[in-house]
Amino acid sequence: MQDSGYFQKMTEGLIHTYYLDQDWNAALSYFDRNQVSWIGVSDQAMAFDYDKLKVFFEKGCNSKYEIRLLNENYSMVSKGEDFAVVIAQFLINSRVDKNGFFSLRQRASFIFHLCGGQWKVTHMHVSAPNSIVKEKEYYPEEMSVENYRLLKRLLIEKTQQMEILAQTTAGGMKGSLDDEDYTFFYVNDELCNMLGYTYDEFMEMSGGTAKGAIYPPDVPKAMRDCRECFKKGDEYKTEYRIRKRDGTLLWVMDYGKKVRDANQEVIINSILTDISEIKETIGQLEMEKERNEIVSELSDDIIFDYNMREDELQVFYPASIAGEKHKKIIKTARVSDGWKELGVSPEDEAEIYKKIMDISNDKISNKTIKAEYRIVDWNAKNIWRRVLMRGVFDSEGNLAKVVGKVVDISSEKELMLRSNTDSLTSAYNRSYLELAVKKAIRNKGVDLYYACLLIDIDFFKEINDKFGHLQGDCVLIEVVKMCRALFRSTDIIARLGGDEFMIFMRDIYDQKIVLEKARKMLDMAENYSIRDGLPDRLSLSIGIVIDDDIAKNFQRLYHQADIALYQAKQNGRGRYMVFEEGMMHPSD
């Protein structure tokens, strides 16, 4: 079965071919040759076979005016396995002469059927509300104050034509009197067939009234809906169930309007649409929502549901966060506010959106996507969270929802941090540094460099001997603080052991930046000595490697930095040296 958009586009194509292209032959190709009926605007414009329709279309496409279509609207009314009903509304704008335009509002209904494996129009009905239509004229050419009077007469005269349309329209149609029980005066065969009854069986089941056809538990609400709608105007809409002949219940949407018949009596014309599948889907979603609420009550995780179409984030908070033992907290917000509610920063939010787009592009509903972010609570404590997400796709393969949960991984991060950092200085340790450097070199940006600075504290043994190990530890901690104050957050600061440190700088566009950082590091060390009153000047020796080779491994990088460090010490300490090819180490 084609989707609604297919039939709306097909309807649009037919109207454009007829009115704009003035190609009657191409327009006829949209119709079925074997069964076709057409009702035009004027009294005589009716055709019940293909040849008669061809005569009208050939005549209609010979308009002497230039035509434009405005305010086009195409609405799907009903569809099934082998039929579809579309309503079109548009404004015909045509230049009558150089001084002005002629405008005519038109409505057209189209019934499509599957004929020989192809979708074809089997019925078309065109009407022109609030316009003058001269008898025997195909295109109206003047407007008149007689519009209302003429339209009323046309409606009366076309009652029989509407009967034909009702019988050929799949779905349920009914006409009721405006009495207490809405007594039927008309029910089409399609409504009876939809419910599995013959006409006589349906009238017996319902007692001949619309109220009697409704499943008894649904009567109060349906009647209340009608009363409330009729207080506001002539139209109504309600939903209820009807007992089918096989005993099952069918959900229907009942939509109609009060009009006056030829005798000026108020009657109600209605269309009933089967919405059982929609109701079943809604019921499943409500059960799923309730399931999520139960899960959130029994879990310490935060459950969320992101509706892509509505750009809305629904969050289910667990009882432990709500602060009340049995209370569940459910918040719904626009997605930007929803992420803030979860403590996601704008930077991390962009990363989460990127992950969501990965789900959409992969179109894999059972693939779990992960993202992590950090927030700072009211106690200035870091809280790490991990987002686990899966996509829910609609029948057309588009990402409709992203559902997932937010897990507190602070303990996991703390444990990982301990395993990756030096216990004294909180700098990274050697094992973490090796892995991080390998990854950074592999992912280096195009036309960018990376740098390695190997730092050694000059005469550190003498500092320990003169001032004690406690003061020596303070110096080690202070060196790391200097590094963090001077280098970027993306640079990796590690303690390799003893008084040896390494700083890895990634994605450097100018090598001079590295040398400037090294000079400032030497100055900061000397200022630290003066500031803290150490009797001997604190100095550092630094060996530097700057490269762009993505094939270099950590061992090679460290060896070259160690050679440069050796050269710095040999040249008097308290300085930096940049590795150059040809430099040697005594161990080589």
495-533 tens-digit pLDDT = 999 999 999 999 999 999 999 999 999 999 888 765 555
pLDDT score recorded for residue 146: 40
Of 274, 295, 313, the residue at which a domain comes to its end is 274
Model confidence at 405, in pLDDT bands (50, 70, 90)?
Answer: confident
CB 252 within 8 A of CB 243: no
Range of the domain at 128: 4-167
Both 331 and 353 in one domain: the answer is yes
- Residue 586 forms part of a structural domain: no
Model confidence at 157, in pLDDT bands (50, 70, 90)?
Answer: very low
Domain count, the chain: 4
Q: Each residue of 348-381: pLDDT tens digit?
A: 777 777 777 777 776 555 677 888 877 766 565 6
Model confidence at 93, in pLDDT bands (50, 70, 90)?
Answer: low
Both 44 and 153 in one domain: the answer is yes
- Residue 587 forms part of a structural domain: no
Both 387 and 425 in one domain: the answer is no
Both 366 and 514 in one domain: the answer is no
CATH at 492: 3.30.70.270
pLDDT score recorded for residue 148: 35
Both 382 and 448 in one domain: the answer is no
- Residue 584 forms part of a structural domain: no
CATH at 63: 3.10.450.50
Both 198 and 334 in one domain: the answer is no
Model confidence at 281, in pLDDT bands (50, 70, 90)?
Answer: confident
Both 270 and 234 in one domain: the answer is yes
DSSP for 502-548, please give it: EEEEEEES-HHHHHHHHHHHHHHHHHHHHHHT-SS---EEEEEEEE-
Higher pLDDT, 326 or 228: 228
Q: What is the mean pLDDT of residues 146-157?
A: 41
Both 407 and 425 in one domain: the answer is no
Of 363, 398, 414, the residue at which a domain comes to its end is 414
Both 20 and 155 in one domain: the answer is yes
Q: What is the mean pLDDT of residues 65-71?
A: 74
Q: Which two structure tokens, joined as six digits, stand for 78?
A: 């009903």
Q: What is the dihedral of CA 486, 491, 497, 499, to 10 degrees?
A: -20
pLDDT at 477 > cutoff 80:
yes
Q: What is the mean pLDDT of residues 32-57?
A: 85
Both 379 and 395 in one domain: the answer is yes
- Residue 160 forms part of a structural domain: yes
Lowest mean pLDDT among 44-53, 302-311, 423-432: 302-311
Q: Which residues contact 267 (CB under 8 A, 6 or more apart)?
A: 175, 176, 177, 178, 185, 258, 259, 260, 261
pLDDT score recorded for residue 85: 93
Q: Which residues contact 549 (CB under 8 A, 6 or more apart)?
A: none
- Residue 583 forms part of a structural domain: no
CATH at 188: 3.30.450.20
- Residue 544 forms part of a structural domain: yes
Both 407 and 553 in one domain: the answer is no
Of 389, 414, 439, the residue at which a domain comes to its end is 414
- Alpha-carbon distance of 476 to 493, in angstroms, equals 13
Model confidence at 384, in pLDDT bands (50, 70, 90)?
Answer: confident
Model confidence at 208, in pLDDT bands (50, 70, 90)?
Answer: confident
SS3 275: coil
Higher pLDDT, 94 or 303: 303
Buried (b) or exposed (e) across 539-553, using 16+ Cβ within 10 A?
bbbbbbbbbeeeebe
Q: What is the mean pLDDT of residues 156-180?
A: 62
The predicted model scores a pTM of 0.40
Mean pLDDT score of the chain: 80
Both 243 and 320 in one domain: the answer is no
